[in-house]
Amino acid sequence: MKNIKYSTINILTGSDLSSRRLAYLAAKSNHPGPIVWLTGCVHGDEVEGIVIIQEIFKRLRKEPLLKGEVHAFPLMNPIGFETVSRHIVMSEEDLNRSFPGDRLGSLAERLADKIFTAINKTKPTLVLDLHNDWLNSIPHTLLDPYPGLKHKNAWLKAKELSMQTGCLVINEEEVGTKAEELKLTLSGSLIMHDVPALTLELGGASTKSNIISEMDVDDGIRAIWRILAYLGMVKPRDEAFNFQAPIEFKGKILREFHQQVSSSGIIRFVAKPGDVVRRGQVLARVYNVFGKLQENLVAVQDGIILGHADYAVAYPGGDILEFGVTSKQ
């Protein structure tokens, strides 16, 4: 179709002289307007973003943009994808902690530089980076920590657009070392360069399940389409999400909160992702190898469970539950 472009960008040459490339998609209207980027699989074992981007562009072939442009890198980490790894295996680097990159740096930094430069030169209205959380997580939108007055406008635009996804919106609100680390992610780095960016976290697909969750794909498509419609780029669709956010959390920015266990043993979850929980409620129990109860894990505040660990093993200090909460602890 004339309105869709499929091409590749060279990233490196292999030892057999083969050319390694990134797939690149672009849909352009004849009318100027917002510029939105979609990116997927920066972690090689988080693959649903690839499928969501494919499906968005299938829609755009049938329903061309009313205005503006949509660009996409559906598979940013082909090396990690092919080796079924979160990281770039050869250098053991996390690509999503390597932005904005360095054209003369490490392997991950060079790849990050290619991606970041290509995105940044288009002067995007929004970049939406697609990820997978724990297997049973509910879809949610992550808003990076507030970057300070210098980059306030990009963050506020990202915040405005986050409320249009139809998903729960979670502000990471990290401080200290973790906040500095988040500045090296694609979304965090873009905001530090005054480009609005968000992360869409889905459940389902990872190396642990090795399959695509079609429900999460559907919700990812709906979230993106809602943003495009809000920007006037496509006609809105009246589509219901598979996971419906509880009314008490709609229209709110929630805070991300993780809860740890203090005992070693076997976890048995009582509450599940999507459950609204109250302070003092039992969420999980930890038993030792003989079946003796070691710990009742109790909610320390009200919130909604975004996801829980993919495994049954518990160890002291291990994160096993992720929440969206409305207040400070």
Of the candidates 157, 129, 3, the one whose C-alpha atom is nearest the C-alpha of residue 66 is 3
Q: Which domains does the chain have, with CATH numbers?
A: 4-245 (3.40.630.10), 254-325 (2.40.50.100)
User: Where is pLDDT greater, at 323 or 209?
Assistant: 323
Kindly give, in sequence order, each residue whose CB lies less than 8 Å from that of residue 118, ignoring residues fewer than 6 positions away: 9, 24, 73
pLDDT at 185 over 70: yes
Kindly give, in sequence order, each residue whose CB lies less than 8 Å from that of residue 120, ignoring residues fewer than 6 positions away: 100, 190, 193, 195
DSSP bridge partners of 259: 321
pLDDT band, very low/low/confident/very high, at 2 (cuts 50, 70, 90): low
For position 327, what pLDDT does the model report?
Answer: 63
What percent of the chain stands above pLDDT 90? Answer: 79
Contact criterion met (CB below 8 Å) for 56 and 255: no
Q: Quick one: how many helices (H) and strands (E) in the chain? A: 7, 16
Average pLDDT over residues 120-132: 97
pLDDT at 207 over 70: no
Average pLDDT over residues 275-286: 96
Of the candidates 203, 223, 228, the one whose C-alpha atom is nearest the C-alpha of residue 47 is 203
pLDDT per position as a tens digit, 223-253:
999 999 999 999 999 999 988 888 888 889 9
pLDDT at 88 over 60: yes
At 91, which helix (H) or strand (E)? none
Kindly give, in sequence order, each residue whose CB lies less than 8 Å from that of residue 109, ignoring residues fewer than 6 positions away: 98, 101, 102
Mean pLDDT estimate for the chain: 92
**Lowest-pLDDT range of 196-205, 285-294, 301-310:** 196-205
Angstrom distance (rounded) from CA 135 to CA 38: 22
pLDDT band, very low/low/confident/very high, at 276 (cuts 50, 70, 90): very high
pLDDT band, very low/low/confident/very high, at 209 (cuts 50, 70, 90): low
Contact criterion met (CB below 8 Å) for 23 and 73: yes
Kindly give, in sequence order, each residue whose CB lies less than 8 Å from that of residue 87, ignoring residues fewer than 6 positions away: 43, 44, 80, 93, 94, 95
pLDDT band, very low/low/confident/very high, at 16 (cuts 50, 70, 90): confident
pLDDT band, very low/low/confident/very high, at 274 (cuts 50, 70, 90): very high
Average pLDDT over residues 163-174: 91
For position 204, what pLDDT does the model report?
Answer: 66
For position 328, what pLDDT does the model report?
Answer: 56
Q: Is 101 left (phi over 0), alpha (psi -120 to 50) or beta?
A: left
pLDDT at 319 over 50: yes
Angstrom distance (rounded) from CA 254 to CA 51: 28
Give the sign of the dihedral formed by CA 17, CA 18, CA 19, CA 21.
Answer: negative
Angstrom distance (rounded) from CA 279 to CA 316: 21
Q: How far apart are the first and last CA of the chain?
A: 53
Give the pairing of strands 35-40 and 19-28. Answer: unpaired
Angstrom distance (rounded) from CA 87 to CA 150: 32
For position 3, what pLDDT does the model report?
Answer: 84
For position 159, what pLDDT does the model report?
Answer: 97
pLDDT at 1 over 50: no
